[in-house]
Structure 1
């Protein structure tokens, strides 16, 4: 228990808490988007299921995150998945019906959450593992601390979506932003792209615009069909 009096330990723990707050918001947005059409009584169960899936994924990824991130094309595939999920979650309810049954399907919502979390958790796990410096106690605390952050964050975003429907579009844009930034950091394409911060931001902005633009286009088309 010497680590209790070790200032390096507490400094690393503060870094991990900051990482969980900064990166856990992405997971909270995905959970809120996937659960927004569920009946009120099913939302808490879906959030619990989504959080449980996210935490189990992070624990599993801790063992081989570095090796996974070194695989070429993995981030490109992950980025494509996030773009698809972002657009799907912006679809009008009637167009979601065949995939998530207007969001009313409890298990469909959890499936969407887990797929998105599997893609987004790699960077989170890598950041926590780096800050922990191989300390198993710190890694475990990082996973535990992320649980309330994701739960409370998803509940807050859900309330915002209920009150301000425009937040749904912003949430979809966030997934596109993550996807764009992830794609250009894949080792298969990184050598072709200028190693500048602006290139990643430009790709992220393109991803956000792609998801939001596609979502708005599909919504407009669906409204025109109904009219």
Structure 2
């Protein structure tokens, strides 16, 4: 189908809007990781690191879209292990130990996310115990190249997941490319406000790290063939973010009440 036909096809427009929403939602995970990692850089390098990281995400997604046959091939089993999980509700195994390249990429990315988020949480919870390690880590993370390399690793994982989602929703390459470009554009606009908001609110940092832990665990489960519906994940994230927003409002109200009391005295 040519571009003119796509532009006049309501189904194509519906697919485009749906796919843009899906890509933006899937990009939240990527954006949280980029925000947390870039905030560990010196202040004058943070915006540049975010721009480079998101630009690399766009380049990687477009490169993957140009090799759709290769991407689809990533879902083919590479090897199998002679074991099946326990039976599910209808008697079929809950999961099988059959791995494709996509599965291996998701497992590796999930393990990296769990490791990174655990390290960050440990540093936030007990900075004194990790003081020696933090000194070494600060030197590493102050290097822009190290930050970009870590962002690139996660860009690869999230890009594969994003493109396979796009392939599953439409057969038209122009729709996929448009959705990816728009979604990455939204990420670019949201990157600085989100990173600054996370940086100014320590409790939000911990919440975001908890999200990364959960996302890492979900990626590992997905790699092993145990698929958790994405709606559940994002509903849990939205609920947690809502509770934290109420906590922030409550803290501001208490602080304002204290300031008013001091002013009266």
TM-score (norm 1): 0.74
How many residues are matched?
195
Whole-angstrom CA distance in 1 between matches of 2:54 and 2:110: 21
Cα shift readout 1:96-139 (whole Å, capped 9, x = no counterpart): 443452742222221121112212222211112222x2212111
- Alignment CA distance shift 1:162-1:78 (3 Å): closer
Q: Is the 8 Å Cα contact of residues 37 and 104 (structure 1) preserved in structure 2?
A: yes
Write out per-residue CA displacement over residues 63-111 of structure 1, whole angstroms, 9 at most, x where no aligned residue: 2333224451503223212212223444358534434527422222211
Distance 1:45 1:11, change over 3 A: same
Aligned residues of 1:20 and 1:149 also touching (Cα < 8 A): no
* More strand, by proportion: 2
Matched, 1:115 2:171: no
Cα distance in 2, alignment partners of residues 84 and 99 from structure 1: 14
Residue 152 of structure 2 corresponds to residue 146 of structure 1? no
Q: Distance in 1 between matches of 2:196 and 2:26?
A: 20
Unaligned 5+ runs, structure 1: 206-227
Distance apart, 1:56 and its partner CA: 2.0
CA RMSD of aligned residues (A): 2.7
Is 1:129 the counterpart of 2:135 in the alignment?
A: no
In terms of Rg, which structure is larger? 2
Is 1:42 paired with 2:57? no
* Distance (Å, rounded) in 2 between the aligned partners of 1:104 and 1:112: 13
Q: Which residue of 1 aligns with 2:93?
A: none
Q: In the alignment, does 2:74 pair up with 1:68? A: yes
1:43–1:171 CA distance, 2 compared to 1 (3 A): same
> What runs of 5+ residues in structure 2 fail to find an aligned partner?
78-98, 238-265
Displacement of 1:39: 3.1
Q: Is the 8 A contact 2:16 2:176 kept in 1?
A: no
Q: Distance in 2 between matches of 1:140 and 1:16?
A: 10
* Alignment counterpart, residue 206 of structure 2, candidates 151, 169, 172: 169
Deviations 1:30-63 (A, max 9, x none): 1101111323332221111101211122223332
Offset, 1:22: 0.9
Q: Where is the helix percentage greater, Structure 1 or Structure 2? A: 1
Give 3-state SS (helix, strand or coil) of 1:185's partner.
Answer: helix
Distance in structure 2 (CA, Å) of the matches to 1:196 and 1:28:
21
Between 165-174 and 6-15, report the one with greater CA deviation: 165-174
* Superposed CA offset, 1:135-171 (max 9, x none): 1211110221122222233222212122201222222
* Residue of structure 1 equivalent to 2:113: 82
* Alpha-carbon distance between aligned partners in 2 of 1:182 and 1:33, rounded to the nearest angstrom: 19
